[in-house]
Amino acid sequence: MASTVQFDLVSPERRLASFPATEVQIPGADGDLTAMEGHAPTITSLRPGVLRVAAADGMKAYVVTGGFAEISARGVSVLAEQAVPLTELTPAQLDALVADACEAAAVNPDKDSADKAVADLYAMRAAAGL
């Protein structure tokens, strides 16, 4: 059996996951990365995307809208602004996320980062298959 790391995912609303994982695929703001046992300690901010986790009982996926991930010798901890298990995400929820990002982009003085957030949400929709 492959070596595991402790994976924890929390959002302001609730703890979504806490279990051993063989790998965690993270949608990092500066690029996607995969954390496994022995990964160098890292802290990265998240972009909107799909966080995928390989566990003993199969692959699990979560939609995140932002936040931070910390990779350490103890495991991978993800603190998400918003997170929903992909199996629970509805097209209406995703439409609401995109609408909120579009409204924020319209008034954000940093037009490039606001437009990138909207583009990331559209890419997340495609990755989620919704």
The structural domains of the chain, ordered by start, are 5-85 (2.60.15.10), 88-128 (no CATH)
For residue 12, the model assigns a pLDDT of 92
pLDDT tens digits in sequence order for the chain, 130 residues long: 468 999 999 999 899 999 999 999 999 988 999 999 999 999 999 988 899 999 989 999 998 988 999 999 889 999 999 898 988 888 888 888 778 777 777 776 666 666 777 777 777 777 777 6
Residue 59 Cα distances to 27, 56, 120, angstroms: 16, 8, 22
Separation between Cα atoms, residue 130 and residue 124, nearest integer Å:
9
Q: What is the pTM of this model?
A: 0.83
Closest-CA residue to 7 (of 46, 47, 49, 61): 61
For residue 121, the model assigns a pLDDT of 76
The amino acid sitting at 103 is E
Q: Please tell me the chain's helix, strand, coil percentages from 3-state DSSP, rounded to the nearest 5.
A: 30, 45, 25
116 phi, psi to nearest 5 deg: -65, -40
For residue 110, the model assigns a pLDDT of 67
Q: 3-state secondary structure string, 79-92?
A: EECCEEEHHHCCHH
Which residues are paired to 75 by β-bridges?
A: 6, 72
How many other CB atoms are found less than 10 A from the CB of residue 99?
11
